[in-house]
Chain A
Amino acid sequence: MLDLKGVNAGYGSFQALFDISLNVKAGEAVAVIGPNGAGKTTLMRVISGMTEPFSGEMEMEGKSLSSFPPHQIVELGIAHVPENRRLFPGMSVEDNLKLGAFAKTARSDSAKNLEFVYELFPRMKERRSQLAGTMSGGEQQMCAIGRAIMSGPKLLLMDEPSAGLAPVVVQQVFSLVRRIREEGYTVLIVEQNVQQVLQVVDRAYLLEAGQLIDSGKSKDLLESDSVRKAYMGL
């Protein structure tokens, strides 16, 4: 579904990603794990069009992303739940969700998708006229995921959905990711909660200092000594 080949990217003259090649198949859930500053967020931004890559090839279902302006990437079925959620804090939950369906390809299904989001998060339905910025972190994360779903995506990019949340809520976020998988979405997720994310994904890539240094099935990585030492403090 998603294919990256030799992607280099960064900010100005600073290069954050070096020669990244990865792929995500339809129906898969894949994680990218790595320490702070490794370039995980940059990778997500490059895929969704927020940051332009220096070079390299990116394809979504065979279509080259570079042939689309950034705001049309979402129309290809890629939705990005950004780091720190980035809701519109002064707007209602429902307005936030509505903006998720701004793309022309999403509008015809927006009523159906809204119903699905409310079924997935009954909490959002209760709070639909509340200002997004006044909700708790966990609720904001639900809203951010809901907003991404409103675009009717095939692939969900999630950048550290559990960051900054209380432990109980972190559990909820991971069971949510599982639920989203079951609904048939393909997922590419960035996490620092390595142990937990490896329980919900099929495969993972290890990113360090802008380079992919390893990849493998979650099961194998969970058992790998180097991963356990480096990321789980075991």
Chain B
Amino acid sequence: MDEIFDIFLLEAIINGILFGGVLALLSLGLNLIFGVVDVVWICYAELVMFGMYTVYWLAGVYDINIFIAALGAIALVSVLGWLVHVLIISPILGTAPINQLLATGGLLFFLQSVATLMFSIEFRNLGLRLPILEFSEMYFSYARLLAFGVALVGMVVVYLFLTRTYIGAAIRAISQDREIMVLMGVNAKKIYWVTASIGGGLAGLAACLLVLQYDVHPFVGISFGPITFIICVLGGLGNMIGGFIAAFILSIIISIGGLYSEIEWGYVFAFAFFIVMMFIRPQGLLGKK
């Protein structure tokens, strides 16, 4: 009895870690944008939703090769991210922060409505049935393993970009001293564009990984948006490493919580943990001051 119990626990922990990969990817995108532009994109998960629809239509309906469909989704959401910045954020950049929250919050409802009009509220899926992997009496879905692996690779690529390139260095620097960037010869506008496009691209990549596991519908963003914000705040808003750690802490809590009752309770535990942590460390795990 004891032994079986432990193996379920281990399975839940591993599944939590696997689930955390995509959450970490999403929080990286959101943190990146926040760190550079100083704006929280409330509508971030709605970009993911459009990416999921793109894969669904290209691969599921038009039978285009899934990898090409995935690249198409990443490119499309990347452009969407750039558009969000240029059309919505850029015009109100210098104004009160509440405006940016209202604008991206408004965009969230706009994107949900557009999706409802275009695709109806029907739940759709790719109809892929990826096999389940059995490993010493524990079960893991291939879709999750794949999502975890690709998310990790995606994060490593972003890390290398940020640490090895000039633009990456400028992206890390701009949040520390915005005004001085001009002396470095940095055109801040261009850095914003690159960041918004990468943020969009990461949402697109996450979309490709999520559509393998979940149905897509106009409100699917609700399933990932709030938890992504909580991860970012728990890690310390704008702190990419903090977000990475927080993603795995929360996904493991959700997964273990789900083991003892329904998965919804996992979320309840995760939110409760978050609230307690906000009293202990209001600035987030790795946040400053």
Contact = CB atoms under 8 A, between A and B. Distances in A.
A89 B176 contact: yes
Contact of A69 (B169, B173, B183, B187): B187
A203 interface: no
B184 A102 contact: yes
Given A88-B177, A91-B176, A106 B169 contact: no
A178 B121 CA distance: 73
B185 interface: yes
Interface stretch (A18-26, A34-42, A54-62, A70-78): A70-78
A90 interface: yes
A82 interface: yes
A72 B177 contact: no
Interface in A72-101: 72-75, 79-80, 82, 86, 88-91, 95, 98-101
Contacts of B180: 50, 82, 86
Contact of B166 (A48, A73, A98): A98
Nearest to A70: B182
Contact of B172 (A71, A80, A95): A95
Contact of B173 (A88, A101, A106, A151): A88
A127 interface: no
B63 interface: no
A147 B172 CA distance: 16
17 contacts: A48-B183, A50-B179, A74-B183, A74-B184, A82-B180, A82-B183, A88-B176, A88-B177, A95-B172, A98-B166, A99-B173, A99-B184, A99-B186, A100-B184, A106-B185, A107-B166, A151-B185
A209 interface: no
Contact of B185 (A50, A75, A88): A75
B173 to A, nearest CB: 5
A102 B182 contact: no
Contacts of B187: 69, 71
Interface in A161-176: none
Contacts of A210: none
Interface string A89-124: 111000100111111101100000000000000000
Interface residues of B, number: 17
The 6 closest A-B pairs by CB, nearest first: A103-B185, A74-B185, A88-B176, A102-B184, A71-B187, A88-B173
B176 A102 contact: no
Contacts of A106: 185
Interface string B183-194: 111111000000
A50 B183 contact: yes
A53 interface: no
Given A86-B177, A88-B177, A99 B169 contact: yes
A49 interface: yes
Given A88-B173, A103-B184, 4 more contacts: A50-B180, A74-B184, A88-B176, A88-B177
Given A82-B180, A102-B166, A107-B166, A71 B186 contact: yes
A100 B183 CA distance: 8
A89 to B, nearest CB: 6
A90 B180 CA distance: 15
Contacts of B183: 48-50, 74, 79-80, 82
A65 to B, nearest CB: 13
**B166, B169, B180, B185 — most chain A CB neighbours (10 Å):** B185
B237 interface: no
B121 to A, nearest CB: 45
Given A50-B179, A107-B166, A102 B185 contact: yes
B80 interface: no
B47 interface: no
B225 to A, nearest CB: 28
B191 to A, nearest CB: 10
Contact of B170 (A48, A49, A82, A99): A99
Candidate in A73, A86, A88, A91 with the most chain B CB atoms within 10 angstroms: A88
A64 B185 CA distance: 17
A102 B179 contact: no
B176 to A, nearest CB: 5
